[in-house]
Amino acid sequence: MRTFDENHNALIPGSIQGLMPGSIPGSIPAGSRHSAAPAVRVIAVTSGKGGVGKTSVSANLGVALSMSGKRVLLMDADLGLANVDVMLGLQPIYNLFHVLAGERTLEDVMLEGPAGMRVIPASSGLKGMAELSHLEHVGLIRAFSELRTPPDVLLVDTAAGISDSVVTFSKAAHEVLVVVCDEPSSITDAYALIKLLSREHGVFRFRIVANMVRSSQEGSELFRKLTRVTDRFLDTSLDYAGAIPFDEYLRKAVQKQRAVVDAYPRSRAALAFGKLAQKTRQWPAPQAARGSIEFFIEQLVTHNEARTVAFP
Ligand SMILES: Nc1ncnc2c1ncn2[C@@H]1O[C@H](COP(=O)(O)OP(=O)(O)OP(=O)(O)O)[C@@H](O)[C@H]1O
Ligand SMILES: [Mg+2]
């Protein structure tokens, strides 16, 4: 029988239950890590279609949450051109590969963005998670477990499309935030992503944010369009997280390599990101046992290891 954990998105298929925390040889014993650490909420920001605003939403939601006093870590899991570091004018020197090589600590790799938000820049290591060795997996989990100040929220800006990496991050996260805009291809691609995650990967709960809308009605209508098809064909639960208006100030901020919430805090987009941040703070907290950052990394790893076993 399948079990659904309300505080975690994914089903735990029997086949990978043997790979739950602490079961990876050489990893840190589960009980010692998960009980004391405060819960970290992991939010994967995704969309199906590219260019609809994932990086804008991740960066601005992250900065808005930081401004409200949360400790935020934004992980850039996209190797595309419009990266988080470019958008925020940060200059990465190291990435996770340097951590895996034992040359740098995770703290060395992290950059500081607006309002103290920390950023882990993109690295090809994340795309090739499946190719990392077992020891590297363990090293990665250890690096996260040794963070001096674990974040309250870990945001993951995923790549465009429906790649293995998008599936892996969405599956391991507590919340999957799907960005859509009012274009047929954005809606069909978001639907395709939701369909794949629910039918093949046991992810059933999604939060939807409508981006670049011209009115709040357009946002709620967009949400209705999407739920009309998901309710009809899929066994999923979609929650409306709100809308971000189309705003020239956001474009201006992108050109200045700044977050709109930082550069133009009174713009319509910035106010909407503030609301979105407030809303995310009200989402139910993840269960303590599933709320540690190393648990999330371990989920990424076990997903890949389970896949390697299932599809040699
Ligand atoms: N609410 C908005 N108002 C105005 N422009 C926006 C808004 N959201 C995004 N944009 C514009 O769209 C561009 C693409 O956004 P962004 O890079 O965030 O999309 P993405 O989904 O991360 O793209 P990719 O799939 O390539 O990673 C931004 O550079 C910005 O100029
Ligand atoms: Mg992007």
Identify the CATH number of the domain in which residue 258 sits.
Answer: 3.40.50.300
- Asked whether residue 8 is assigned to any structural domain, the reply reads no
The residue count of the chain comes to 312
Ligand 1 within 6 A of CB of 214 = no
Q: Under DSSP, is residue 38 helix (H, G, I), strand (E, B) or coil?
A: coil
User: How many CA atoms lie within 13 Å of 33's alpha carbon, on the beta-carbon side?
Assistant: 25
Q: Environment class of residue 198 by beta-carbon count within 10 Å: exposed (0-12), middle (13-18) or buried (19+)?
A: buried
Ligand 1 atom with the smallest distance to the CA of 50 is 25
**230: nearest Cα among 182, 188, 278:** 188
* pLDDT, average across residues 279-302: 81
Chain segment 89-124, per-residue pLDDT in tens: 999 999 888 887 888 999 999 999 999 999 999 876
Question: What tokens appear for 13 in the block?
Answer: 């298929």
If you measure from the C-alpha of residue 55 to the centroid of ligand 2, how many angstroms do you get, rounded to a whole number?
4
Residue bearing the CA closest to ligand 1, atom 25: 50
The answer for 239, left when phi > 0, alpha when psi is -120 to 50, beta otherwise, is: beta
Q: How far apart are CA 199 and CA 260, in angstroms?
A: 36
Q: How do residues 235-244 score in pLDDT, each as one tens digit?
A: 999 999 999 9
Nearest 5°: the CA angle 215, 87, 217 is 10
Q: Is the minimum distance from the CB of 198 to ligand 1 under 6 angstroms?
A: no
Q: Is-contact 150 286, C-beta < 8 A?
A: no
169 within 8 A of 44, measured Cβ to Cβ? yes
- Per the domain annotation, does 36 fall within a domain? no
- pLDDT range class, residue 257, cuts 50, 70, 90: very high
Kindly give the distance from the C-alpha atom of residue 153 to the centroid of ligand 1, in angstroms, as a whole number.
Answer: 22
Residue 305's pLDDT is 59
How far away, in angstroms, is 247 Cα from ligand 1 center?
A: 11
Decide whether any atom of ligand 1 lies within 6 Å of the 56 Cβ. Answer: yes
Residue 3 has pLDDT above 90, yes or no: no
Ligand 1 pocket: which of 55, 74, 211, 214 to mutate (most atoms within 8 A of CB): 55
Task: With respect to residue 156, please indicate whether it lies within any of the assigned structural domains.
Answer: yes
* Alpha helices (H) along the chain: 14-17, 30-34, 54-67, 84-87, 96-100, 106-109, 124-127, 134-145, 164-172, 184-201, 216-233, 248-255, 260-263, 268-282, 293-310
> Which structural domain, as residue segments, surrounds residue 56?
45-307
Range of weakest confidence among 126-135, 207-216, 237-246 = 126-135
How many independent structural domains does the chain possess?
Answer: 1
Helix, strand or coil for residue 115? Answer: helix
Q: How crowded is residue 133: how many other Cβ atoms within 10 Å of its Cβ?
A: 9
3-state secondary structure of 48: coil
Q: Using the mean position of ligand 2's atoms as its centre, give its distance from the Cα of residue 216 in Å.
A: 24
Give the whole-angstrom CA distance, residue 192 versus residue 238.
14
Give domain status of residue 189, yes or no: yes
Per the prediction, the chain carries an average pLDDT of: 83
Residue 311 is predicted with a pLDDT of 35
- Has residue 46 got a pLDDT over 90? yes
Q: Note whether residue 151 is domain-resident.
A: yes
Which ligand lies nearest to the CA atom of residue 57 in the structure?
1
Residue 16 domain-assigned?
no
* Higher local confidence (pLDDT), 28 or 211: 211
Q: Give the atom of ligand 1 at the shortest distance from the alpha carbon of 248.
A: 4
Nearest-angstrom CA–CA distance, 247 and 74: 23
Classify residue 174: in a domain, yes or no: yes
Decide whether any atom of ligand 1 lies within 6 Å of the 84 Cβ: no
Contact 249, 260 (CB under 8 A): yes
In-domain check, residue 236:
yes
